[in-house]
Amino acid sequence: MAVTIRHYHRRRLPTGLIAKHAVINLGVVIILLPLIWVLLMSVKSLPESYSTNFWPRQFDFSHYGFVLTRIQTLPQNMFNSIFVTLATVAITTFCAILGGYALVHVKLPGRMLLIWLLIASLFFPTRLLSLISIYEIQRQLGLLNTVVGLIFPYVTLNLAVSILIMRGIFEQLPHELVEASRIDGCGPWRTLFLVLLPLLLNGIVVVSMVNFVGVWGEYLLAVTLTNDQATRTLPVVLASAHSGMGQWAYPRIAAVYVIAVTPGIIIFALFQRLYFKGLTEGAIKL
Amino acid sequence: MATVASRVASAARTWRSTYRLSDYANFLFLVPATVFFVGWQIYPIIRVFVLSFTDYKYLERNPPNFVGLQNYINALNDPLFHVGMLRAFAFTVAFVPLTILIPLVLAVLIDRVTTPWLSSFYRIVLLIPAVIPGPLVFVLWKWLFDFQIGPVNTILVEWLGLFTRQTAPQWLGGTPLSLPAVVIMEVWWGLGYHTMFFLAGLAAIPKDLSEQARIDGANEWQLFWRVTVPRLLPILSILVVLRFGTAMSVIDEYLIFGGFQRTSPTYTWTVYMYDLAFRIGDWLQGYAAAIGWLGAAVMMVFVVGMLYVFRSRD
C-alpha cells in the first residue's frame, strides 16, 4: 500500500509535493518568527535594541538578571501569576472531574438539560457581560485589589469547557467498570476516586492546559479588579509597560516576556503526547 | 460486539428511567462547580440585566432609579453604539473566514505528510501559539507592529522595499490599519489551534474513501470539495459559530491595541461598554449594562440563526 502511494507521488506530484512542503514551512516560519524575534530582542544590547537588526551583533544576557533583581515589584508580580494560576487550575480541574463524572456515570435527574446549558454558555459572551457586576461582587466581598480574589472569577472562565471535556473523557470509560465497582461495594464517590481517577490522566492534562493558558495570561479581569503594582499579574505588567525607556527598555520587557511565555511552552512540551491524546478523546467532541 | 452494545444500551435505559430520592444526592458532585457558576457568572449576568433598567451610576451615592426601557431606547439612538456594532461586524467579517480557511488548507496539507517525525514536528510547532495566552500574544504583536522597532515594518521597508522609513504604515494608535493589524494577529494566534482541530477531523475520514475517489479519477481539487469539506462540515460549522461569538465580543486586544480612542476602529461596542462602566463620569453602569445586553442580544440572533442554518439534516 505504502509503495503504491509513494509511486503515485513520484509519478504525478513532484511539484505538488514541493508546493505542499513550501506552504507548510511558510506556516511554520510565520508562527516561529515572532517568537524568535522576541527571544533575540531579549539578548540585544540596549543601544542595538533601537536598530532594526534581526540578529544581534553582540549578545547581552544581562537583561534577565536585571529584570529579576532590579525591578522591584516584578518578583511579586510573578508570584501573583503563579499563585493565581496554580490555585485556579487545581480548583477548576477538581470541579470539572466531579462535574464530568456526575454527567456521565451517576444517576442525575435533568442531566441533558445541564449539558445543554453548559454548551449554550459557550456561545454567550458571558465574560464580557458579567464583568460589570463582578466588580461589585468583589468589592462587597472585600476581594477588590487582592490576588486571592481573582481566583473566583477565573475558575468560571473555562469551567463549562472543562466540565464538557471531562465528560468526553468519562464517556470513553466503559460503563461495565463502574458497574463492577458498584457490585464490589463501592459507592459513587469511592468509584470515582479509587477506580476511575487513574484513568483520567489525559483529561486532567487537557483541562489543566486549557485553564493554565486561560488564566496565566488573563488580562481583562486582572486589569479591572486590581489597581496596585503589587497586586498585578504578569500580563497586566507587560501590557502597561510600553514606554520602551529605562527599566522597561525593549530588551528588558522582552526578557520579562520570555520569562512569562516559557513555562507554558515547557509544560506543553512535557505533556504534549498526553495532551494530543486527551484532545482527540475529549475536546474535539465537546 | 452487538451484545456489548445492547447491554450498554439497556443498562443506560434502566439507568435513566428510574430516579429515586437518593439519586438527588448525586447533585453533590455538582456543588463545587455550581458555587462558582452561580456566584461569578449566573448572578452577575442577571444582576447586569436588572441594572440595565436603572440609571445606576457606580460612583454616585444616591440609590438608582428604575427607568424602564430608557437605557435601551438611548442605546438604539446612540451613534457610538451603532458605530461600535459596525466595527465589531467589520472585524468579524474579516477575521472569521481567514481564521477558518487558512488552517483548513494547512491541515489538509499536513494530513498528507507521511513522514512520521516531520508530521509530529509540524503539529508541535503549530500548537505553540495555542499555549501562549491571548493577552501575551497581543502584547507581542503590539511590539511587532511598532512603527520604529517593529519587525513588521522592518520586513516591509528593508527586506521587501515596499515603503521607506518615512512612508511605512502606521499600524497602531487608532489608525485605519489597526483593524487589519488585529485581524492578522488573531489569525496568527488561531492558526495552530484551528489546524489541530481540523487535523483531528481529517483523521476521522476513512483513508479508503479518498483512495477510492482517486482511483475513480477525481483530482485533488475535486477530492477536497467533494470528500474532505463535506466530511468536515460539522466541525467547520461549529467553529464558524464559536469564532463569530468570540470575534463579536473581542475586547482585550482592542484595549491593548487601541485604548479608549473613540475614533479608532478598535473602539467597538465592547470597548464602549467598558468605557461607560469603568471610566466615564460616575461610571454609568446602568447604561453600560443595557449596551452589553443589547450587543449580546444582537449576537445571539446571529448565533441562533447560524445554528439553525447549520443544523444537521440527517
Please report whether residue B17 resides in a domain.
Answer: no
The verdict on A16 and A137 lying in the same domain is: no
Question: Residue A158 falls within a domain, yes or no?
Answer: yes
Q: Is residue A40 very low, low, confident or very high in pLDDT (cuts 50, 70, 90)?
A: very high
For residue A173, give the DSSP letter: S
Contacts of A156 in chain B (CB under 8 A): 36-37, 40-41
Q: Please state which of the ranges A182-191, A275-284, B214-223 shows the lowest mean pLDDT.
A: A275-284
B164 in the same domain as B107: yes
Q: For A8-62, give the DSSP string.
A: HHHHH-HHHHHHHHHHHHHHHHHHHHHHHHHHHHTTS-TGGGGS--SS-SS--TH
Q: Are residues B144 and B252 in the same domain?
A: yes
**Are A67 and A3 in the same domain?**
no
Angle CA(B304)–CA(B246)–CA(B90) in degrees, nearest 5?
90
Residue A56 maps to a domain: no
* Residue that wins the pLDDT comparison between B50 and A59: B50
pLDDT in tens, B217-247: 888 788 888 888 888 888 888 889 999 999 9
Please, what is the end-to-end C-alpha distance for chain A in angstroms? 34
Question: Which CATH number goes with the domain that contains B150?
Answer: 1.10.3720.10
Q: Which residue has the higher pLDDT, A12 or A273?
A: A273
Of the residues B71, B105, B126, which one is the last residue of a structural domain?
Answer: B71
Same domain, residue pair B246 and B177: yes
Q: How far is A284 from chain B (nearest CA, A)?
A: 7
- pLDDT at site A145: 92
Distance CA A180, CA B71 (A): 59
Q: Is residue A54 part of a domain?
A: no
Mark whether B122 and B142 lie in a shared domain.
yes
Return the residue matching grid coordinates 536585571: A66
For the stretch B108-131, pLDDT in tens is 888 888 888 888 888 888 888 888
Put simply, whether B127 touches A (Cβ < 8 Å) is: yes
Is residue A88 domain-shared with residue A19, that is, in the same domain? Answer: no
Task: Verify that A34 and A159 share a domain, yes or no.
Answer: no
Instruction: Determine the pLDDT at residue B1.
Output: 41
Is B15 a domain residue? no
Q: Say if residues A128 and B249 touch (Cβ distance below 8 Å).
A: yes
Q: What is the 3-state secondary structure (H, E, C) of B218-233?
A: CCHHHHHHHHHHHHHH
The arithmetic mean of pLDDT across residues A46-69, rounded, is 82
Contact between residue A158 and residue A214 where contact means Cβ atoms under 8 Å apart: yes
Say yes or no: B176 and B248 in one domain: yes
Distance from CA of B264 to the nearest CA of A (A): 19
- Does the residue B124 lie in any domain? yes
Nearest CB to A130 within list B29, B48, B241: B48
**Geometric angle at alpha carbon B298, from B292 and B301, rounded to 5°:** 140
The confidence score (pLDDT) of residue A69 equals: 84
Residues of A in contact with B124 (CB under 8 A): 269, 272
Could you give the number of structural domains in chain B?
A: 2
The per-residue pLDDT for A175 is 84
High-pLDDT (> 70) share of chain B, %: 92
What proportion of chain A, given as a percentage, has pLDDT over 70? 91
Could you tell me the three cell numbers for B130?
495555542
Q: Are residues A130 and A241 in the same domain?
A: yes
| Residue A57 to chain B, least CA–CA distance (Å) | 16
Tell me if B140 is assigned to some domain.
yes
ipTM value = 0.86
A125 and A259 share one domain: yes
Asked if the structure places residue B39 within a domain, the reply is yes
- A181/A226 same-domain check: yes
Q: What is the pLDDT of residue A242?
A: 67
Tell me the β-bridge partners of B241.
none
| Grid coordinates given for B180 | 487589519
Closest CA to B40 of A140, A210, A112, A232: A140
Q: Is there a single domain that holds both residue B168 and residue B211? A: yes
What is the per-residue pLDDT across A3-18, written as a single tens digit (0 to 9) for each? Answer: 444 444 445 556 777 8
Q: Give yes or no: residues A2 and A123 share one domain.
A: no
In angstroms, the CA A214 to CA B134 distance is 8
Domain range for B99: 78-280+294-309
Q: Are A3 and A145 part of one and the same domain?
A: no
A52 assigned to some structural domain: no
**A49 assigned to some structural domain:** no
B54-94 tens-digit pLDDT: 998 888 888 888 999 999 999 999 999 999 999 999 999 99
Orientation angle between helical segments A250-278 and A201-216, nearest 10 degrees: 160
Per residue in A84-109, pLDDT (tens digit) is 999 999 999 999 999 999 998 888 88
Whether residues A11 and A134 share a domain: the answer is no
- Which domain range does residue A2 map to? 1-41
Contact A257, A43 (CB under 8 A): no
Predicted confidence (pLDDT) at residue B9 exceeds the cutoff of 60? no
Find all residues with CB under 8 Å of B163, minimum gap 6, and list them: B153, B156, B157, B169
pLDDT tops 50 at residue B174: yes
Q: Has residue B6 been placed in a domain? A: no
Query: Is residue B221 in a domain?
Result: yes
Tell me: do A3 and A124 sit in the same domain. Answer: no
- Clarify whether residues B32 and B149 are in a common domain: no
Judge if B89 and B122 occupy the same domain: yes
Same domain, B38 and B145: no
* CB-CB contact of B271 with B251 (8 Å): yes
Round to whole Å and give the CA distance between A164 and A150. Answer: 23
First to last CA, chain B: 25
**Alpha-carbon distance values, A9 to A3, A18, B252, B259 (Å):** 10, 11, 46, 52
Same domain membership, residue B219 and residue B165: yes
Mean pLDDT for B298-306 is: 94
Q: Per DSSP, what are the bridge partners of residue B54?
A: B66
Hey, which residues 210-249 in chain A have their CB within 8 Å of chain B?
213-220, 223-224, 235, 238-239, 242, 244
**Same structural domain, B169 and B276:** yes
Q: How many domains does chain A have?
A: 2
Alpha helices in B225-284 (DSSP H): 229-248, 252-258, 269-278
A112/A173 same-domain check: yes
Residues B47 and B144 both lie in one domain: no
Look at residue B281 and give its three-state secondary structure. coil
Residue B120 Cα, gap to closest chain A Cα (Å): 10
Give the residue from B71, B106, B126 where a domain finishes: B71
